[in-house]
Amino acid sequence: MPLVIIEVMPKPEILDPQGKAITASLARKGHEGIAGVRMGKRFEIELDEQPTEAKLAELRTIAEDMLANSVIEDVVDVRVAEHGESWDAR
């Protein structure tokens, strides 16, 4: 199945308590050299057929309007998955 991958991250200026908690946990476990972790979201959108440019534009709009909240998050990537990248190929 054709797949589009959308990635959303908290804006750089937005505090990310989840990322901070992960960073602190890694330090407690003795992992050195990890300055910080920020946690975002990855959406894998399964399509019936290969997306047209119009469908990709629609998905970009969905990403900006619903999958991300532009007050606190940025859409950092909208792309058609490479062969072997989809969940059914993993």
Name which of 1 and 21 has its Cβ closer to other proteins. 21
17 vs 84 by CB, closer to other proteins: 17
CB within 8 Å of 42: residues ≥ 6 apart: 5, 6, 7, 8
**DSSP-assigned letters across all residues of 54-71:** HHHHHHHHHIIIIIS-TT
State the nearest-atom distance from the C-beta of 67 to other proteins, in Å.
7
What is the C-alpha to C-alpha distance for residues 89 and 74, in angstroms, rounded to an integer?
A: 28
Chain contacts with other proteins (rule: CB under 8 A)? 14-15, 17-18, 20-21, 66-67, 69, 71-72
**78 alpha carbon, distance to own chain's centre:** 9
CB of 32 to other proteins, least distance (A): 23
CB of 10 to other proteins, least distance (A): 8
Closest to other proteins by CB, 18 vs 82, is 18
